[in-house]
Structure 1
Amino acid sequence: MATETYTVTGMTCSHCVNSVSAEIGRLPGVTAVQVELASGAVTVTSNEPLDEAAVAAAVDEAGYELAR
């Protein structure tokens, strides 16, 4: 198992949280996604470490941006 925390910018409501969670949750191997709206922290648990570019693409697909 691998757990990584990312920061996502632009989220303002529960719909944002749901969109980001859903898109990241579709990545292969992801087993859990926890989003903290106030800080923008997104903790992703997966079977193996994820490619950050894939996470960034999923966040972008949801309409938000992965802070670098």
Structure 2
Amino acid sequence: MLRAGTAVVHASVQLVKNGDFWGYVINGVGVVLSGMQVIAGVSVIGASLASGTIIGSAFGGMLVLHGLNG
């Protein structure tokens, strides 16, 4: 998805207070993990349709939708 230009990596910085210390967390990995989740969902759908299981297809569809939401 990154190579095709449909997804762009954005990094966000979140300030976190842990006790008396302030720190920051960089969140930029979500795009890669979401893309992998979409690929896994499509794979599960393909395998489920080949074997004829409806529950697996529904689970794969939820994985795809959750990955697209991320």
Please report the TM-score for the alignment, with normalisation by the length of structure 1. Answer: 0.29
Max Rg structure? 2
Please report the TM-score for the alignment, with normalisation by the length of structure 2. Answer: 0.28
More strand per residue: 1
Q: More relative contact order in 1 or in 2 (CA 8 Å, sep 6+)?
A: 1
More helix per residue: 2
